[in-house]
Structure 1
């Protein structure tokens, strides 16, 4: 079995079983192409519908070494939450964190092969911006510590997106200066604004268009883009509560342990060609 397939199968199975992986399940990718190759294979094995993409930051000096300052991962239909106060699951014996994020809804797909679009051209593809929370969780506890290539290989460390209230008048761009405050169980654990996020949430969409095009993929109408952590990546555990304030808007969730999916292992074996 190829290293790519071994890694992808291990992560898909562990996520469906909601169990941790003590070790990275193969040889770690050494290039962006290898890392996204694992991710693409895992998406194919997984079989769930992709309804959006998370975007995260690649810190210096790796951004220069890799030639990218952001990374991406899929958001699946069963992990998109629109409830006001949901309970969001994490893999309890893996990695788990919550992040205050802006959620951008796509109105229409970019032209086939479109890359390096202008800010205004990207804005024309968007029909709403909301506040939200990304749940970052992986079976592998070392996913972030091992660097962005490992993070990319397991869905960019995404495990769910909570979409909160829509931002009124978002096209004027004022929201990027809103104060954002994150709390765990009422205690402040992060403060920032989207002004500090590279070229901002719209820039995250621009990056994603190029990233997907390089993989033969594209954004689709109705999909969501989670634009990156505003106040940081904040470790959480089952039983805790995470709150994020964006100016006067607020979004909250409780954290619980994920449960194994039912009736999925046969699908994985069929997709992988195993007997």
Structure 2
């Protein structure tokens, strides 16, 4: 089967799962073997069907290649938030996210953006919850998970901090409590060490994909303390030193 047909089929299945508010019961074997480029093509095809892209999640460590997941604008909420979780097995993460303040369409000479150029394009940062909810059966292959927007279900953002650079540090303290039970109490431990580290990589990767970052989009860069199940009726409260606390409640 041509790759283009595999991309369209997998995108169609993922869109059907989103519409049905239920994960797929099974994933055809031929679609589980998609490569990274195909996975990104799948998720961007889904993004085109779901409306404007509000932001991205990114995982990138040291100088290695990273992974991208799109976040529809309709899936970004402000704290305090209420979320209807019916049909989904959800997890939650406490993260630092960044607001892009000006477009990053690519440099005229084709050279990649420098760290300083991308830093200057960021207008603010905030504490955020990433909500995870896969549209795939349990334990999907990594490329299929990437095609599913890296399992992103949504993002909850707190009040924006304009003077953000002093607050975004490798040794920042983060806490997360779910219905009164503390599940994260961490100092540092971000997967990229520096929470900003992966944003320049993302900016340049998106230029290559033809989907450059634009003003207003949000970038979230990885969890402090991992991901934790959250169930209907639960309330989560998170705090990252230097930022306003955030909260979310799942409808019963």
TM-score (ref. length: structure 1): 0.79
Match of 2:116 among 79, 104, 120: 120
| Aligned twin of 1:49 | 52
Structure 1 spans left out of the alignment, 5+ residues: 258-275
Match of 1:17 among 13, 16, 20: 20
CA gap 1:216/1:91 in 2 versus in 1, 3 angstroms: farther
Partners of 1:91 and 1:152 in 2: CA distance: 23
| Aligned twin of 1:35 | 39
CA gap 1:181/1:71 in 2 versus in 1, 3 angstroms: same
| Aligned twin of 2:94 | 100
SS at match of 1:138: coil
Partners of 1:192 and 1:206 in 2: CA distance: 25
Match of 2:211 among 199, 206, 217: 217
Match of 2:129 among 133, 140, 145: 133
CA gap 1:253/1:194 in 2 versus in 1, 3 angstroms: same
Partners of 1:230 and 1:117 in 2: CA distance: 27
Partners of 1:85 and 1:43 in 2: CA distance: 26
Structure 2 spans left out of the alignment, 5+ residues: none
Partners of 2:209 and 2:161 in 1: CA distance: 31
SS at match of 2:71: strand
Partners of 1:256 and 1:6 in 2: CA distance: 33
Aligned length: 245
Alpha-carbon offset, residue 88 of structure 1: 2.2
| Aligned twin of 1:260 | none
CA gap 1:29/1:57 in 2 versus in 1, 3 angstroms: farther
| Aligned twin of 1:263 | none
| Aligned twin of 1:155 | 149
Partners of 2:188 and 2:111 in 1: CA distance: 24
SS at match of 2:197: helix
Alpha-carbon offset, residue 29 of structure 1: 3.6
Alpha-carbon offset, residue 247 of structure 1: 2.1
TM-score (ref. length: structure 2): 0.86
2:50, 2:72 within 8 Å by CA — same for their partners in 1? no
1:51, 1:224 within 8 Å by CA — same for their partners in 2? yes
1:54, 1:75 within 8 Å by CA — same for their partners in 2? yes
CA gap 1:231/1:147 in 2 versus in 1, 3 angstroms: farther
Partners of 2:16 and 2:112 in 1: CA distance: 36
1:6 aligned onto 2:9 = yes
Alpha-carbon offset, residue 199 of structure 1: 4.7
| Aligned twin of 1:189 | 183
Partners of 2:33 and 2:53 in 1: CA distance: 23
